[in-house]
Structures are given as C-alpha cells and as structure tokens.
Amino acid sequence: MLNVLEIIKRTTEFLAGRGIASPRLNAELLVGHALGRKRMQLYLEFERPLTEVELERIRPLVRRRAHHEPLQYVVGDTEFCGLKLKTDRRALIPRPETEQLVELVLAWCAVNQPAEHILDLGTGTGAIALALGRALPAAQVVAVERSAEALALAGENAAASNLGERMTFVCSDWFSALPATRFDVIVANPPYLAPEETAATAREVREYEPLAALTGGVNGLGDLEVIIQDAPAYLRAGGLLALETGITQHPHLLGALRQAGFSHAGGRCDLAGRDRFILAVL
C-alpha cells in the first residue's frame, strides 16, 4: 500500500510533468484536501498507508489540476482577508493583491468619517464586500454584479459567512439598476486587461476563469472610465472611490478623475511596487 509521503511524491512528479508551477505545494494541498488534513498534519502522517477509498478521493483532484484547472476551483475555496470563500467557475478567484485594496479602504475609513453605506461594484465571489462588511459592523453593503451566476455565488458566500443580513445584492451593469442613493465608499475591482493581455495570462486563467471579468474593452479602460464618470452621482461629498487598476493606467485614470470632479486622487502601489490602486475623494 502507498503511504502519504509516497503519494505526495508521485503526485508532485506527475504535476511537474504537466507543467504545473510549485508541484510539491500543489500535491500537498490536493492530498490534504482529499484527506481532510492541513499541510502540517500531513507531515505527521507521512508513513500512514492510504486505503483505496482515500486514493479514489485523491485521483480526480489530481487529474483536474493536471489539466491546469486552478487549484482554488479544484478544492472549491480560498482564503481572503481571513474569510473562507467558496470558489468555482462562476467568478474570478480573489487575488492576494486585492486584500490590499480592502486594507486601503479600511485605513481611509479609520481616519475619515466611518463608512455606513458601502457600494462594491463587480463583486464576483463577494470577497471585497464581505471583507469590508465583517471589518465594519455598522456598515450596510450593496454588492453589484452583472453576472447572475457570480451574484448567486456571492450570496452563498454571504450566507456561509453569516453576513447576509447586512448585504444587499443587485444584478446590474455597474450603476444602471441602482436606485438614486449616496454612498460613503464606492470600491471596485473591475475588468482592466486589454484583450491581448488576457490572451497572455496563464493557462489556468484564460481557460477557466470568466474572461468577461478580466477584459475591460479594447484598451482595458472601458469599465474603469464608466465607473469614474458615473460615480459622482452615487457618492456623497467627501466620499471615497477606491479602484484596482492595471499597472500602466494611472496617468489616464487620474486625468479622468479630475475631469469627473473629484477633488483629490492619488495612486497607490501594490506590494510589488506596481501602480495598482487609486483612491479618489469627491
């Protein structure tokens, strides 16, 4: 019988042969998921023989990952700002850099008037909305998504996180289906890649994640321009618009924000030093 360490080694070799990055890490996470163990627990069970039932749970997961299906879709969840979120092909996988967007919004709220009404545009899995809602218990959060399938996933994550009572989910193409109201904070991580950038993404991205949530028109700026143009009608005076953007787009977007009437706008770098975020005050 194969033991835990032997199956991890075989899985690592198999995934490496299929061009999977970090094959040992992937192998440990897949085996751990199938066995209901965390990685550190696996290390204590390396010599334990695996039953045929356990091997049958591991094999389909490894086959899916070997076809470059994202690990987060294979195991069905991911961590974001301390929340465990369900992930599947209905929505983009939340990225670690987007956690920094949440941190920037929370830092702004800590210094300025506490946010009671927050709008999350393009909510996807609900990651940003739920992270802000959990960190700001007095806030009511409206989460907008134009994909009905992604919106359903966000609702499932809200229910699992026990945050559903303070969340409102709206199927809308940005602001189009929203009633006339004002928010303290509007946050958005919209599609911002040009088509050629989307085509150059990793196989895991371009073959499995929803491309409509990645590509922002001909030059990647289309959705960001719509949000910037329409946001002043839904933002209170002194309110914040927080955006995740492409790393070459800040000069154009900062000009668009000035034209839209924002009193102050500035870029913020991600942890790799790239121009990734914009905070603008009306």
Is residue 144's pLDDT more than 90?
yes
Residue pair 216/248 in contact (Cβ under 8 Å)? The answer is no
Residue type for 47, please?
E
Share of the chain above pLDDT 90, in %: 95
Give the Cβ contact number of residue 60 at 10 Å: 11
Distance of CA 34 to the CA centre of its chain: 24
pLDDT on residue 6: 96
Label residue 126 exposed, middle or buried (CB < 10 Å: 0-12, 13-18, 19+).
buried
The span from the CA of 49 to the CA of 46, in Å, is: 8
pLDDT on residue 180: 85
Nearest to 140 by CA among 164, 167, 175: 167
Q: What rounded mean pLDDT belongs to the chain?
A: 96
User: Could you give phi then psi for residue 132, rounded to 5 degrees?
Assistant: -70, -40
Average pLDDT over every residue of 244-267 = 96
Q: Which domains does the chain have, with CATH numbers?
A: 4-67 (1.10.8.10), 77-281 (3.40.50.150)
Q: Given the structure tokens 């300025």, which residue do they identify?
A: 112
pLDDT tens digits, one per residue of 89-132? 999 999 999 999 999 999 999 998 778 999 999 999 999 999 99
Is residue 259's pLDDT more than 80?
yes
- Band (pLDDT 50/70/90 cuts) for residue 250 is very high
Residue pair 92/124 in contact (Cβ under 8 Å)? The answer is yes
Least trusted range by pLDDT, from 120-124, 163-167, 248-252: 163-167
- Band (pLDDT 50/70/90 cuts) for residue 179 is confident
Q: Indicate the Cα dihedral angle 235, 237, 243, 245, nearest 10°.
A: 110
Label residue 257 exposed, middle or buried (CB < 10 Å: 0-12, 13-18, 19+).
buried
Query: Which pTM was predicted?
Result: 0.94
- Band (pLDDT 50/70/90 cuts) for residue 217 is confident
